[in-house]
Structure 1
């Protein structure tokens, strides 16, 4: 029993030591005058501002707006990228035809297209979701192609020898073998989603964490601005954790392989 308690304490210490040191450093730097407390307030002031914004509903309301856009864009990107990746991997002709176009767009930064998408689609929800779809599309597509091409050819030949049709071969062999790689692409796309979404929300939005950060900075609400940044970090961490948990529960990934 004592040994188990020591192990639990060691695990807690391992995962909380670095965040605790980070918070302590943040608290002490402005209080010791090493940094200007006006522009970099102590963590306690930021936490107090964050609590007030949470109780009054400001942070939850803006976080919900960002979550809805992120989830919608990520789901649309997955629905588009996975079948297209399967098609590109299965057909050399399609791959050769689309390769130059895909390479050109893949190397175009999503934020570079923000002015174009805003001009074409306006400053409403459609443009913001479109930015998310574009940013999330490429990690999922490339991981799908990589996963399909990495399937063991012996398994494919065995499936064909058993008389499986191309559709059954795809659904019963190729897709299950590719799911872990696709899942990795979705996790990478999640990080890109929030990065692009915050920038998109700073242009013409009326809600969202990016919108709130822009307003707080413009009104010189420094503690509130840092509280919004921490909320964004926490949202990304929570989203990644939930996605990873779903992958483990669905047996797409194994904890011991990514621990």
Structure 2
């Protein structure tokens, strides 16, 4: 007797319900806690700065309260002096810094990768790396004058060494295992340099670039105190001579803020170029 399978009753199996996607914990509380934690030290410094002169712990003639410095900063912003001097300093600093990156990174990669080039240039590097940039400031002024060229050149010189030396160190400290692995794949020297050396060198190279970013501002301020007619260094120096102490501190605070913002921009740029790296706690 044959059984007709088509006439057999169909059995319906329960369809499993799709799992609801797991909700990620909100990052907002953690971000707020981090922001508050990082702001506590700055807030305490500002409170101490405001109260110490008012309670005569220090002479307010030489260290005015933070509120007076803020008033002076707003006054400089309103009359245009702050904008003009800040733009002059940023133009010089970024020009010298950019030229240092364009020269230092390729030259450092070349010296670090090709031993004959390193043997040729090492004596010159050892000679100039131990010569402070500010010690050469009179030489730059005598040769290039007191105009923009000398100031951009001194920033270029000061920024070149952190970038160059860190780039050389980055290339020479690439993991030998990676190099052996790449050579076992019969990569050409160009491909080896492009696929292994460059990516592995980026973090240390950016360390040098960040150091150079801080140096570019500090050296420029010192250079602007000699024969400059505009710039934050000129503003600070002129305020000191005129005994406009709140304006002097306003210029110093502006330099500090610019340095912090510039460093944060470089950190974000570094994270973008090193996004391929896995975090240590992953």
State TM-score, norm by structure 2.
0.84
1:194 equivalent to 2:210? Answer no
Alignment partner of 2:152 out of 129, 139, 158:
129
Deviation at 1:100, TM superposition (A): 2.1
Number of residue pairs matched by the alignment: 255
Go from structure 1 to structure 2 and tell me whether the alpha carbon gap of 1:255 and 1:49 turns closer, same or farther (over 3 Å shift).
farther
Query: Where does residue 251 of structure 1 map in the other structure?
Result: 274
Q: Does the Cα contact within 8 Å between 1:66 and 1:208 map onto a contact in 2?
A: yes
2:87 matched to which residue of 1? 64
- More displaced 10-residue stretch of structure 1: 118-127 or 203-212: 203-212
- Which residue number corresponds to residue 97 of structure 2? 74
Q: Is the contact between residue 179 and residue 252 of structure 1 (CA under 8 Å) also seen in structure 2?
A: no
Q: Does 1:13 align with 2:36?
A: yes
- Pick the aligned partner of 1:146 from 148, 156, 169: 169
- Counterpart of 2:60 in structure 1 is 37
Of 104, 108, 112, the residue aligned with 2:135 is: 112
Q: State the secondary structure of the residue aligned to 1:228.
A: helix
Aligned counterpart in structure 2 of residue 233 of structure 1, from 252, 256, 275: 256
Kindly indicate whether the alpha-carbon contact (under 8 Å) linking 1:247 and 1:253 is maintained by their aligned counterparts in 2.
no
- C-alpha deviations, 1:180-235, integer Å up to 9, x for none? 11111100111111111101111111211111111111111110000000000000
The answer on whether the counterparts of 1:49 and 1:224 sit within 8 Å (CA) in structure 2 is: yes
Contact 1:180 1:252 in 2 (8 A): no
1:204 has 2:227 as partner: yes
Bigger helix share: 1
Q: After TM superposition, what 4+ stretches of structure 1 lie above 4 angstroms from structure 2?
A: 3-9, 252-257
Most deviating of 169-178 and 4-13: 4-13
Question: Aligned with 2:87: secondary structure?
Answer: helix
Match of 1:223 in 2: 246
Which of 93-102 and 132-141 deviates more? 93-102
C-alpha displacement at 1:107, in angstroms?
0.7
Q: Calculate the aligned-residue CA RMSD, in Å.
A: 2.1
Structure 2 residue ranges without an equivalent (≥5):
1-25
Q: Which has the larger radius of gyration?
A: 2
Deviation at 1:92, TM superposition (A): 2.4
2-structure distance, mates of 1:6, 1:27:
30
Calculate the TM-score normalised by the size of structure 1: 0.91
For 1:203 and 1:189, how far apart are their aligned partners in 2?
22
User: Residue deviations 1:91-136, cap 9 Å, x none?
Assistant: 3232223222211211111100000110001011111111111111
